[in-house]
A and B are shown apart, each in its own frame.
Chain A
Amino acid sequence: MADSEVTDQSGPKDGIERAKNEGKELTKEEKQRLRKEKKQQKKGKEKKDDKAPKESQKEKPPAAAAQPSTQPSTQPSTQAPSQKVCSAVPAPAVAAAAAETTAAKEKPTKSKAELKAERRARQEADRASKQGKKGDGAQAAPAKSKAAPSELQPVVKRLPEHIQVDNPDVLKKLAKKLERQQIPLRSDYGYKVSLFSHLHQYSRKAPLTQQLSIPSSVIHPAIVRLGLQYSQGIVAGSNARSVALLHAFKQVIRDYTTPPNEELSRDLVNKLKPYISFLNQCRPLSASMGNAIKYIKKEISNIPNQCKDKEAKNKLLNCIDCYINEKIVLAAKAIAKYAIEKISDGDVILVYGCSSLVNNILCEAFEKNRKFRVIVVDSRPRLEGREALRRLVQRGIRCTYVLISAVSYILPEVSKVFLGAHALLANGYVMSRVGTSQIALVAKAFNVPVLVCCETYKFCERVQTDSFVSNELDDPDDLIVTRKGKTQLENWQDVELLGLLNLVYDVTPPDFVDLVITDLGMIPCTSVPVVLRVKNVDM
């Protein structure tokens, strides 16, 4: 409205007087007045620029109808990604409230309801100012979430340390944490390709045990052994790693005795933390391992205090056995049952790399006398397909072996593609061995159905849309190969502009995946959040 723009400079008093005179347009004028006040506050406090729209939310009740138009416009901006809620938020609210109170004084003819609203505003402003004095950003966050009841409790997550390697502050924090836990820090090796310089890159020839004492006294020997097996690749594969981890934890629990004046439920969890850091240093934890650890920690904390040591330990050992039995062994059987329905006679099935679950399915299908043949696709430098090939041929299944460069050559022959997964992310993306997304893409182009087999304990709440943000860098020296006595890449470190990249994982978008076979049934890729929600309710 033209009038309001003219009176922009004159401040709230003129607007209020006009409001007195013009009864009908009171609310609109008030709206504009408040908008003007906001603008002035913005100009006045440029630092807290982005908080100004937030403080408008706190003014909800006061000028009653004044807010509706401003609120929707500001709401989306509040959802904007400022993770750290400044304590300055309430400050403009105070100023606004102050403006409100002055306005109230000048309007003795205001109705009781309006007075009440203003009182409420004042109270809220006081509360907000107290919070501001405390400087507690966290308390402002629930206030923010109250304003957006439609969302499920947005959790403010910190970025994990392992994808912030190029940030020296994060590294310093990590070093301090490891020092406190008496675990040596493993140093990165070699030149990292710039796109992945935020990830760790370790050398297999420099194991963490170099810096540990022999015999290891700080870390349980079973955990040291496990860490070595992880870093040398002796235990590889999502399921194998989880089972080995739980086995080692069983030994730790068996050898554990509660110190005096401590409770098992709290002390044991604290004992496990440095072990987990150690294993993380040896090789970054997988999603399945993370879920297993969460489960154990929950079980440990749920142990009642009156429980004696021996009973508690037995209970925990039983829990671990049950977990492995249910989530891994029985889940594999259930998945095999569903998957076998999908395998028909005369099928040509393509598999990639060595997935224990897919191998299991194929072996069971073969035992149930389905007639099919398998094409094993393999890729350097791990060449895991050779192991898959060995296991399948040992059973008597007819196999063909190609490298991934020949996948578009062989796909016209293929009727189905079975892929294993390392983890299933909350937005339906499949995280698996590098090369999987390529195969899924080519299969999609040839209209070949892609079926991903994954147990539910590998579902994780992370969301990722590309393979760069969070990945694992393996030892770059693995890419060096010696043929006919010549090793071309021997001195790759001396060449300045050369970087070797050995990625381990990649993510496949759900558009390329036709079906996910889990122990809960056959679901589409986009139903993963549903499963997660069901799981959370259960837990």
Chain B
Amino acid sequence: MCVGELTAGTMELQAVLMAAGGGSRMTDLTYNTPKPMLPVGNKPVIWYPLNLLERVGFEEVIVITTKEVQKMMSTDPKIKEIRIKLDVVCIQEDGDMGTADSLRHIQQKIKTDILVLSCDLITDVALHEVVDLFRAHNATMAMLMSKTHEFTETVPGQKGKKKAAEQRDFVGVDHSGKRLLFMANEADLEDGLSIRKSIMRKHPRMHIKTGLEDAHLYCLKKAVVDFITENKSISSIRGELVPYLVRKQFSKTINNSKMKEDTEDQSQKTSDCLASHELLISSQDECLLQLAQERSCWNDHRGDMSEAYHGGKLRCYVHIMDQGLCFRVNTLAAYIEANRLAPKLFEEPAVHPSAVISEKCQMGSDSIIGEKCQISDKTSIKRTMIGNYTSIKEKVKVANSIIMHHVTIEEGCNIQGSVICSNAVIGRGADLKYCLVGNGQSIDAESERTNEVIVGSDQLMEI
């Protein structure tokens, strides 16, 4: 008797991949190629989260993206290798739709709790750690964070030292390091960090961390999706929804009975909608769950008189990764770092079988050569990603670089620490150090460029 599969109604989690983002922090790379399709280790960026979902056991993903990306995905061979069923939903490209708006858009497709991912996440996290928090504590939200990755590579086009600290996130967790108590961005805190008394009373020991990076991976209950549908004012998951949920854990309205008037609530009128939704989370057997919790001799905290979870129904949890790879490819520095590290994630032959490499070429073991490349004699390639259909002529030295598809590099060039986008042509004898050559550009022969961003003139007009 086969154990059989569960019907659609009993599916545990649905995966939603957000791939409509524009890559606003790396416009030099993305003005021609949309961010999800940028090659990292010769695979498009979107391949990595899809691969994560496939490895873990998902069978279907809802991908929210633009038409352009959908077209590119359908022709990409690596995407075709992925066996999960992709349900692609296209939205407009003008960028008005935030992540929460997109969820509202696909609200009918969502039948159960969801796992929301960003397309630029590269990680080897054990996903069950995040999902277990979500399951075991019956949490409303569970997310993934990791210690900020320091990017050590020199980034082309950056003059001088790295910018001073970007907008930091202040994350407060409880003594176990799992329960999320407080989350705010530096930009929102004008005068200083203020913590409500109700939080301090319930969790006297709070650890506040600043060196954490949000991986933009969230497990959300279905009730939250319903809430977003009702409240059209929320447009971004990370920017608005998450801080709201974290704040609402300690709101008085939730902990009291459903009929209580929220006179003491602050600005948001949406709170009573949330209260009624969040309280309708569980199934019809709320009283049985309550009975089980009463009879159980477990408490998540000790030292005060209250029951487990302080009686709160809304709970947010975070899993903080301290080992392993986890970062998002949303800046140029991250993109370069990704290219360094991504090949180590997977064991694939570094050299594509269809590439033509002459015998007198010196190739390091940490380079990746793409499909149908032509590498001529006396070339030296070290720590470089070379995309598909690229041809490299003789006596070229390439080190620490990223070369995308359809690039032609003439003889005698010397390229170091650079990023060369698709369809570019590098003239003979050119010497490039830490440069970024935009899409379709061509570099004149015998030119020497150091630490420059070379893009087309039409691109320069965009601000």
- Interface residue A393 (Cβ < 8 Å from any Cβ of B): yes
Kindly state the separation between the CA atoms of A390 and B58 in the bound complex, as whole angstroms.
43
A65 to chain B, nearest CB (A): 57
Assess whether B7 is in contact with A393, with CB atoms less than 8 Å apart.
Answer: no
- Interface residue B305 (Cβ < 8 Å from any Cβ of A): yes
Assess whether B128 is in contact with A181, with CB atoms less than 8 Å apart.
Answer: no
Assess whether A240 is in contact with B6, with CB atoms less than 8 Å apart.
Answer: no
Assess whether A239 is in contact with B12, with CB atoms less than 8 Å apart.
Answer: no
Assess whether A386 is in contact with B296, with CB atoms less than 8 Å apart.
Answer: no
- Interface residue B461 (Cβ < 8 Å from any Cβ of A): no
Q: A235-B292, A247-B289 are in contact. Are A221 and B126 (CB under 8 A)?
A: no
B200 to chain A, nearest CB (A): 20
Q: A232-B136, A237-B295, A387-B297 are in contact. Are A243 and B13 (CB under 8 A)?
A: no
Assess whether A233 is in contact with B128, with CB atoms less than 8 Å apart.
Answer: no
Residue of A nearest to B304 (CB): A390
Q: Using a Cβ–Cβ cut-off of 8 Å, how many residues does chain A contribute to the interface with B? A: 53
Q: A246-B288, A324-B288 are in contact. Are A217 and B5 (CB under 8 A)?
A: yes
Contact of A236 among B56, B138, B298 (CB under 8 A): B298
Residue of A nearest to B59 (CB): A217
Assess whether A214 is in contact with B127, with CB atoms less than 8 Å apart.
Answer: yes
Residue of B nearest to A387 (CB): B297
Assess whether B128 is in contact with A212, with CB atoms less than 8 Å apart.
Answer: yes
Residue of B nearest to A360 (CB): B295
Q: A214-B128, A228-B132, A324-B288 are in contact. Are A356 and B57 (CB under 8 A)?
A: no
A399 to chain B, nearest CB (A): 13
Contacts of A212 in B (CB 8 A): 57, 128
A268 to chain B, nearest CB (A): 11
Assess whether A393 is in contact with B285, with CB atoms less than 8 Å apart.
Answer: no
Contacts of B267 in A (CB 8 A): none
Q: A233-B298, A356-B295 are in contact. Are A209 and B137 (CB under 8 A)?
A: no
A249 to chain B, nearest CB (A): 11
Q: A214-B131, A216-B12, A234-B298 are in contact. Are A240 and B3 (CB under 8 A)?
A: no
Residue of B nearest to A180 (CB): B3
Assess whether A182 is in contact with B298, with CB atoms less than 8 Å apart.
Answer: no
Residue of A nearest to B299 (CB): A387
Q: A247-B289, A257-B7 are in contact. Are A214 and B57 (CB under 8 A)?
A: yes
Assess whether A215 is in contact with B298, with CB atoms less than 8 Å apart.
Answer: no
Chain B 295-337, CB within 8 Å of chain A: the 1/0 string? 1111100100100000000000000000000000000000000
Assess whether B298 is in contact with A209, with CB atoms less than 8 Å apart.
Answer: no
Q: A182-B3, A214-B131, A390-B305 are in contact. Are A243 and B10 (CB under 8 A)?
A: no
Q: Which of B10, B137, B299 has the most CB of A within 10 A?
A: B10
Assess whether B1 is in contact with A221, with CB atoms less than 8 Å apart.
Answer: no
Q: A212-B128, A243-B292 are in contact. Are A220 and B298 (CB under 8 A)?
A: no
Contacts of B58 in A (CB 8 A): 213-215
Residue of B nearest to A234 (CB): B298
Assess whether A247 is in contact with B296, with CB atoms less than 8 Å apart.
Answer: no
Assess whether B12 is in contact with A240, with CB atoms less than 8 Å apart.
Answer: no
Assess whether A384 is in contact with B297, with CB atoms less than 8 Å apart.
Answer: yes
Chain A binding surface, main DSSP class: helix
Assess whether A243 is in contact with B295, with CB atoms less than 8 Å apart.
Answer: yes
Kindly state the separation between the CA atoms of A390 and B59 in the bound complex, as whole angstroms.
46
Kindly state the separation between the CA atoms of A471 and B153 in the bound complex, as whole angstroms.
57
Contacts of A246 in B (CB 8 A): 288
Contact of A225 among B11, B128, B136, B305 (CB under 8 A): B136
Contacts of B9 in A (CB 8 A): 255
Q: Which of B127, B283, B293, B296 has the most CB of A within 10 A?
A: B296
- Interface residue A394 (Cβ < 8 Å from any Cβ of B): yes
Contact of A214 among B4, B6, B7, B56 (CB under 8 A): B56
Contacts of B57 in A (CB 8 A): 212-215, 217
- Interface residue B187 (Cβ < 8 Å from any Cβ of A): no
Chain B 1-45, CB within 8 Å of chain A: the 1/0 string? 101111101111110000000000000000000000000000000
Assess whether A237 is in contact with B132, with CB atoms less than 8 Å apart.
Answer: no
- Interface residue A128 (Cβ < 8 Å from any Cβ of B): no
- Interface residue A218 (Cβ < 8 Å from any Cβ of B): yes
- Interface residue A224 (Cβ < 8 Å from any Cβ of B): yes
Assess whether B297 is in contact with A244, with CB atoms less than 8 Å apart.
Answer: no
- Interface residue B291 (Cβ < 8 Å from any Cβ of A): yes
- Interface residue B240 (Cβ < 8 Å from any Cβ of A): no
Chain A 105-125, CB within 8 Å of chain B: the 1/0 string? 000000000000000000000
Contacts of A234 in B (CB 8 A): 136-137, 296, 298
Chain A 330-369, CB within 8 Å of chain B: the 1/0 string? 0000000000000000000000011010000000000000
Pairs of residues from A and B, 10 with the lowest C-beta to C-beta distance, nearest first:
A213-B57, A215-B12, A354-B297, A240-B296, A221-B12, A240-B295, A215-B13, A356-B295, A244-B292, A243-B292
12 contacts between A and B (CB under 8 A): A207-B132, A213-B58, A217-B5, A217-B57, A218-B5, A228-B135, A234-B296, A236-B297, A274-B3, A354-B297, A387-B299, A394-B305
Interface residues of B (CB under 8 A from A): 1, 3-7, 9-14, 56-59, 126-128, 131-132, 135-138, 283, 285, 288-289, 291-299, 302, 305
Given contacts A235-B296, A244-B289, 7 further A-B contacts (CB under 8 A): A182-B3, A215-B57, A221-B11, A228-B132, A237-B295, A240-B297, A259-B4
